[in-house]
Chains A and B, each alone.
Chain A
Amino acid sequence: MTTTDATPPMSDLATLAQQYGLEPIGLRPPLHLYIRQVWERRHFITEYAKARAQALNAESRFGQFWEVLNPLLSIAVYYLVFGIILNTRGSVPNYLAFLVIGVFVNSFTQTSVLTGAKSISGHLGLIRAFHFPRAVMPLADVFERFRALRTSLIVCMVIVLLTGEPLTWMWLLVVPAVLLQSMFNFGLTMVFARLTARVRDVAQLLPFMMRTWMYLSGVMYPLGTFIDRLHGPQWVHTLLLINPLAVYIEIVRDALLESYSVPVWNWYLAVFWAIVVLIFGFVYFWKAEERYGRG
């Protein structure tokens, strides 16, 4: 097939393309190239996160105050219901600090996933206007959450200090704990970003899934007592103990609370979940790269 004469028969178009070295458009690039393209757009990710935060600030009267106020109000409600009415206070040494950490760590993952899940379906304008690796959208959304975390983390630490916990070297472990959780959040968000891009309804169900997960992860009561009361097969108990959200909450408690210590395997699991979920999420998202933006 060497004819260059105008339009050849249809079946030969692919051959013609090959002959002149034309690349199929809209095909996802190989993974290593994709990662590089995403890396090249890192400034987009940071700039977007910054811009979103500012827009959020301008949208409501208290702006980013709600970032902190929201979990604080949740804490008040949980403290009333679980701490006082159900008297979980009795079984945990410093219940308020225990609860505060649980709520803040949980809300980091929760808000990341809830925001990031809509990162494709909610930005079709941008996606259809310009050509760029789509993974930067969920990454930018989670990065925005990561930036917002700094404030919440400080508030969380101040409350913990006010409850009488001493400031120790162990507190430094919060940094790796939060970084590992961020990696996990990135991975998980990319999974849900792809699912939501395909089936919008996932975004409706997600809040309920996240809430159920929170109740199963020992946010407002110790996971141990919860499991003890649970009548079920052993594997359910194990599953609850190794579930990533519980692991990330436990290691932060380990770091900040003097009276609270967790087995070291929690830290190994934290690393394991961070790496496995991040890689899985990224690859899973990349696999559908060419389909984002349709419909």
Chain B
Amino acid sequence: MAEPDAVVPPTEPAATTSVSAEPTVIVDDVHITYRVHGSGGASSIPGTNAVAALRRIATRRKGPGPGVQYIKAVRGMSFVAHKGEAVALIGRNGCGKSTILKGIAGLLPPTKGRVYTSAQPSLLGVGAALVPSLTGERNVILGSLALGLTPEEAKERMDDVVEFAGIGDFISLPMSTYSSGMGARLRFAIAASVSHEILLIDEALATGDADFYRRSSERIRELRDQAGTVFLVSHSTKVVRDTCTRAIWIEQGKIVMDGEVNEVIKAYEKDVETNTGRQAGAAR
């Protein structure tokens, strides 16, 4: 399984809380490539009719084909996280930190490399609506059942979840009518209702109002105490400093620095200050 000429670790070993701790998450040279469907650009065969579809299938073997684009979001990351660690993933928008989080959760399979975990990680974060045409209530039940709860358990937790999400009467409306914030709250509330050994938090959910933010960060702290390992994606360096022991700085799908949280943040902030203009240019 081991790659003979694998990538060398980007920095010296991370200064973690306890070196003898058991590993809970091992990310081994992971690459994640998105396949994006839809408007490819001028080269794509126009039309959504059957003839065009047939033509697309027929020409598919010769390459990615028109209308399909590949985005290399994660390009060779490796790290080990241990029990009792809280690891922050930091970096600019689109650097791949949310993608690697989904990769660890097993929701986005790596194109290359592998993620090993001691238990099924749970990802709390944002995303599309669950089943947009169904009401919030239905989605709570379905989400709970998908997570493996029994119908009785799902019904029992229903009230707690609804109260936690705090979206009021919207709970009886189809999820397609929700704002992105409300959708995120509901999803978070569903996922947070079960306990987790490995917890992955995409902090974009903290875009909710102050009241929900307080409730959710409280819940996160609770869950973190129960959880062996926590991963947190955040843009707020304050939140990261307060909650994490270790930070991994990611840039264009690769790890730039991995180490003690304050050191990494200091380096990252310095980089942001000096390179803002250049990065914006390089992104083109």
Binding site for B on A (CB under 8 A): 4-17, 20-26, 40-41, 43-44, 47-48, 51-52, 55, 59, 123-132, 136, 199-202, 204-205, 207-208, 290-291, 293-295
Name the CB-closest residue of B to A122. Answer: B131
Q: Shortest beta-carbon distance, B238 to chain A, in Å?
A: 27
Q: How far is the CA of A20 from the CA of B174 in the complex (A)?
A: 45
Q: Given known contacts A14-B114, A55-B174, A129-B107, what 11 new A-B pairs fall within 8 Å (CB)?
A: A4-B20, A7-B9, A20-B118, A22-B24, A125-B128, A125-B129, A129-B127, A199-B57, A202-B53, A204-B52, A207-B50
The reply to whether B78 and A41 contact each other, CB–CB distance below 8 Å, is no
Q: Shortest beta-carbon distance, B73 to chain A, in Å?
A: 11
When distances are taken between beta carbons in the complex, the residues of chain A under 8 Å from B150 are 43
Provided the pairs A10-B9, A26-B106 are in contact, do residues A204 and B53 lie with their beta carbons within 8 angstroms?
yes
Provided the pairs A43-B145, A204-B48, A205-B57 are in contact, do residues A295 and B37 lie with their beta carbons within 8 angstroms?
yes
The reply to whether A293 and B107 contact each other, CB–CB distance below 8 Å, is yes
Q: Which of B71-104 contact A (CB under 8 A)?
A: 78-80, 102-104
Asked if B220 lies at the interface with its beta carbon under 8 angstroms from chain A, I say no
Q: Residues 132-143 of chain B: 1 if any A CB is under 8 Å from the residue's CB, otherwise 0? A: 111000100111
Binding site for A on B (CB under 8 A): 1-4, 6-9, 13-16, 19-20, 22-29, 34-37, 48-50, 52-54, 56-57, 60, 78-80, 102-111, 114-118, 120-123, 127-134, 138, 141-143, 145-148, 150-151, 154, 174, 187, 191, 258
Q: Quick one: which of B14, B128, B154 has the most chain A CB within 10 A? A: B128
Provided the pairs A6-B13, A20-B22 are in contact, do residues A199 and B2 lie with their beta carbons within 8 angstroms?
no
Q: How far is the CA of A8 from the CA of B15 in the complex (A)?
A: 13
When distances are taken between beta carbons in the complex, the residues of chain A under 8 Å from B36 are 295
Pairs of residues from A and B, 8 with the lowest C-beta to C-beta distance, nearest first:
A295-B35, A6-B13, A125-B128, A17-B116, A204-B53, A26-B106, A201-B53, A22-B116
A-B contact pairs, 11 of them (CB 8 A): A6-B13, A6-B80, A10-B6, A10-B7, A43-B154, A47-B145, A55-B174, A128-B108, A201-B54, A293-B108, A294-B108
Q: Shortest beta-carbon distance, B270 to chain A, in Å?
A: 24
Provided the pairs A22-B117, A295-B34 are in contact, do residues A4 and B19 lie with their beta carbons within 8 angstroms?
yes
Q: How far is the CA of A11 from the CA of B191 in the complex (A)?
A: 34
Name the CB-closest residue of B to A50. Answer: B138
Q: How far is the CA of A208 from the CA of B6 in the complex (A)?
A: 48
The reply to whether B34 and A131 contact each other, CB–CB distance below 8 Å, is no
Q: Shortest beta-carbon distance, A58 to chain B, in Å?
A: 8
Q: How far is the CA of A127 from the CA of B108 in the complex (A)?
A: 10
Provided the pairs A22-B117, A125-B132 are in contact, do residues A47 and B109 lie with their beta carbons within 8 angstroms?
no
The reply to whether B146 and A41 contact each other, CB–CB distance below 8 Å, is yes
Q: Tell me what chain A mostly uses at the interface: helix, strand, loop, or mixed.
A: helix
Q: Shortest beta-carbon distance, B39 to chain A, in Å?
A: 13
User: Which of B2, B13, B102, B142 has a CB less than 8 Å from the CB of A7?
Assistant: B13
Q: How far is the CA of A282 from the CA of B9 in the complex (A)?
A: 41
Q: How far is the CA of A200 from the CA of B108 in the complex (A)?
A: 18
When distances are taken between beta carbons in the complex, the residues of chain B under 8 Å from A11 are 2-4, 6
Provided the pairs A7-B9, A7-B78, A13-B78 are in contact, do residues A125 and B130 lie with their beta carbons within 8 angstroms?
yes
The reply to whether A21 and B130 contact each other, CB–CB distance below 8 Å, is no
Provided the pairs A22-B118, A44-B146, A208-B50 are in contact, do residues A6 and B6 lie with their beta carbons within 8 angstroms?
no
Q: How far is the CA of A125 from the CA of B132 in the complex (A)?
A: 9
The reply to whether B109 and A14 contact each other, CB–CB distance below 8 Å, is no
Q: Shortest beta-carbon distance, A17 to chain B, in Å?
A: 4
Q: Shortest beta-carbon distance, B224 to chain A, in Å?
A: 20
Q: How far is the CA of A291 from the CA of B116 in the complex (A)?
A: 17
When distances are taken between beta carbons in the complex, the residues of chain B under 8 Å from A132 are 146-148
The reply to whether B133 and A205 contact each other, CB–CB distance below 8 Å, is no
When distances are taken between beta carbons in the complex, the residues of chain B under 8 Å from A205 are 50, 53-54, 57
User: Which of B7, B20, B25, B131 has a CB less than 8 Å from the CB of A123?
Assistant: B131
Q: How far is the CA of A9 from the CA of B12 in the complex (A)?
A: 11
When distances are taken between beta carbons in the complex, the residues of chain A under 8 Å from B3 are 10-11
When distances are taken between beta carbons in the complex, the residues of chain B under 8 Å from A59 are 133
The reply to whether A14 and B115 contact each other, CB–CB distance below 8 Å, is no
Provided the pairs A128-B107, A128-B108, A293-B109 are in contact, do residues A7 and B117 lie with their beta carbons within 8 angstroms?
no
The reply to whether B143 and A204 contact each other, CB–CB distance below 8 Å, is no
User: Which of A9, A48, A199, A291 has a CB less than 8 Å from the CB of B142?
Assistant: A48
Q: How far is the CA of A276 from the CA of B172 in the complex (A)?
A: 42
Provided the pairs A25-B115, A40-B148, A55-B133 are in contact, do residues A20 and B9 lie with their beta carbons within 8 angstroms?
no
Q: Quick one: which of A11, A25, A47, A204 has the most chain B CB within 10 A? A: A25
Q: Shortest beta-carbon distance, A80 to chain B, in Å?
A: 26
The reply to whether A16 and B143 contact each other, CB–CB distance below 8 Å, is no
The reply to whether B151 and A10 contact each other, CB–CB distance below 8 Å, is no
When distances are taken between beta carbons in the complex, the residues of chain B under 8 Å from A13 are 2, 26-29, 78, 80, 116
Provided the pairs A5-B13, A125-B132 are in contact, do residues A294 and B35 lie with their beta carbons within 8 angstroms?
yes
Name the CB-closest residue of A to B23. Answer: A20
The reply to whether B109 and A290 contact each other, CB–CB distance below 8 Å, is yes
Q: How far is the CA of A235 from the CA of B12 in the complex (A)?
A: 69
User: Which of A8, A129, A201 has a CB less than 8 Å from the CB of B56?
Assistant: A201
Q: How far is the CA of A15 from the CA of B1 in the complex (A)?
A: 9
When distances are taken between beta carbons in the complex, the residues of chain A under 8 Å from B19 are 4-6
Name the CB-closest residue of A to B141. Answer: A47
